[in-house]
Amino acid sequence: MTQIKAPAAKEPSVSSAVSTINDVARLAGVSIKTVSRVMNDEPNVREETRTKVKEAAARLHYRPNLLARSLAGSRSFLIGLLYDNPSSSYVIDLQQGVIERCRQSGYHVLSEPQDSLAPDIGRAIASLLATIRLDGVILTPPLCDMAVVLDAVEAAGVPYVRVSPSLFPGRSALVEMDDTQAAYEMTQFLLGQGHRDIGFVRGHPEHGSSHRRYDGFIKAMHEAGAEPHSRRIAQGFNSFASGLEAAKALFMDAGNLPTAIFASNDEMAFGVMAYAQQTGVRVPDQVSVVGFDDTPGSMIIWPHLTTIRQPVTDLAYAAADMLLSRASADEDAPNFSDTRRELPFELVMRESAKAV
C-alpha cells in the first residue's frame, strides 16, 4: 500500500485496510525513522514533531506493527514469563497481571512453561533466549531459585525479575511477600482465639517458602510459650494426599486431638479436612483448620477455608512494572539488580477456624 489512506468517515470498519508506517510518515511529512522514534517514545524528537506524528497516526488509526517497531528500535516488545508451577490458579493469575501491565505499554507476553526437573533446563532456556529476542524475563518459583536458570538468563544479557525467590537474595531484581510474617500472624490469630495445642503440617522440604512458613509458626508459638510437641508437627509435600497422610498422623490419638491444625498450603489443608470428614472429626467444632495461599478450592469446600492470600496479581504488576521501566530506560538502569519490592499479604477469615 503506497497511497495515503484517507481516514474513514466516522469509525473505520473492522475490515478497512491497515495503515502502515509509510502512510503516517507521509501524512506527517517526516521520515519513517522519526515515526518509529515517536512510536517507541524515544528521546531526541522535538515536541512539535512528536505531536504532528501522533496526530497523523491517530487520523490514520495507525497501530505500529510489532515486527517493524522491533526492527526500527532496539526492542522486541516481548516479555517472557517462565514458569513451572503445579498450581494453575497461581500461574494464570500471575500471567493475567503481567499481560495487563504489558498491554498498557504495547508489550506482549510469551508464556513459556519450563520443566524444572529436566537435566538440560539451563540449555533449554539459553536456547529459548537465543531463538527469540525478549526485552525481559520474569522467573517464578521454582525456576527463580535455580542457579543454572539464572546463569542462562544472565549469559543471554536479558534483564529479569524474580517473583518470590528463596535463594540468592541481591542477585536480581525481585518482588516478594513475607511468608514468615504471614505464618507468624496466622499463628497469632489462632492463639488469640484461645488455641494453644496447634498442629502444623510442613510443606515440601525443597521449597524455600516451606521453611519460612514453619519458622513463622514456631516463632509465634515460642513467644506465646506454647511450643508444640514434635508429635504435633507432620511433614507434608504440598499435595492433597500428603495432607491426608499428615492428618492421619496428627489425629492418631482420637482422645487427644489438637484444637487447631495449620497446614502450610491450602492443598494440604484440604487433605486434612477430607480426613477429618472421613473419620467424623468436625471442622471447626472439634478442630480448626487453616491453610496458606487462598487457592480457588478454599471457596468450594465446606467449611470454606481460613487462609492467607498471596498478593499474586500485585506481585505480577510489580514485576512487570520493574521490567518495563527498565526496558524503556535509555541507559542501563544503575543497580537494577538491587530493586526489591515487598507486597502485603492478607489473612482471609472464613468458616474453617473458630475460637476454642
Please report, as ranges, the residues that interact with its own copies according to CB under 8 A: 14-15, 18, 63-67, 70-71, 76, 88-89, 91-93, 95-96, 99, 106, 108-113, 122-123, 126-127, 130-133, 148, 151-152, 155, 240, 267, 270-271, 273-274, 277-278, 296-297, 299-302
Q: How near is the Cβ of 18 to its own copies at its closest, in Å?
A: 5
Give one DSSP letter per residue of 23-64, joined into a string: HHHHHHTS-HHHHHHHHTT-SS--HHHHHHHHHHHHHTT---
Contact 72, 38 (CB under 8 A): no
| DSSP secondary structure string for all residues of 239-292 | SHHHHHHHHHHHTSSTTS--SEEEESSHHHHHHHHHHHHHHT--TTTT-EEE-S
Taking the C-alpha atoms of 16, 17, 18 and 21 in order, what is their torsion angle to the nearest 10 degrees? -130
Considering the complex, what minimum distance in angstroms separates the CB of residue 266 from its own copies? 8
Q: Give the type of residue at 189.
A: F
Q: Residue 31 or 279: which CB sits closer to its own copies?
A: 279
Considering the complex, state which of residue 29 and residue 67 has its C-beta at the smaller distance from its own copies. 67
Using N-to-C axis directions, what is the helix angle for 179-192 and 208-223, rounded to 10°? 40
Dihedral of the alpha carbons of 136, 138, 143, 149, in degrees to the nearest 10: 10
**For residue 42, what is its C-alpha cell?**
524515544
Q: How far is the CB of 225 from its own copies (least distance, A)?
A: 35
Smallest distance, Å, CB 40 to its own copies?
A: 13
**Could you give the angle at which helices 21-28 and 32-39 cross, rounded to 10 degrees?**
110
Q: Does the N-terminal peptide bond of residue 303 adopt cis geometry, omega within 30 degrees of 0?
A: yes
User: Closest approach of Cβ 74 to its own copies, in Å?
Assistant: 12
**Closer CB to its own copies, residue 188 or residue 239?**
239
Report, in Å, the least distance between residue 130 CB and its own copies.
5
> If we measure between CA atoms, which residue out of 263, 237, 238 comes closest to residue 250?
263
Cell of 80: 517472557
Q: Report the residue number, 220 or 268, with the smaller CB distance to its own copies.
A: 268
Q: What are residue 163's phi and psi, to 5 degrees?
A: -105, 120
Nearer to its own copies, 166 or 295 (CB): 295
Nearer to its own copies, 66 or 226 (CB): 66
Cell readout for 300 is 468450594
Comparison of 31 and 88: residue with beta carbon closer to its own copies: 88
User: In this structure, what DSSP letter does residue 103 have?
Assistant: H
> Measured from the CB atom, is 177 or 268 closer to its own copies?
268
Shortest Cβ distance from residue 273 to its own copies (Å)?
A: 7
Dihedral (C-alpha) 253, 254, 260, 261: value to the nearest 10 degrees? 60
Q: What residues have CB less than 8 Å from 14, skipping those under 6 apart?
A: none
C-beta of 53: minimal distance to its own copies in Å?
Answer: 17
Closest to its own copies by CB, 221 vs 319, is 319
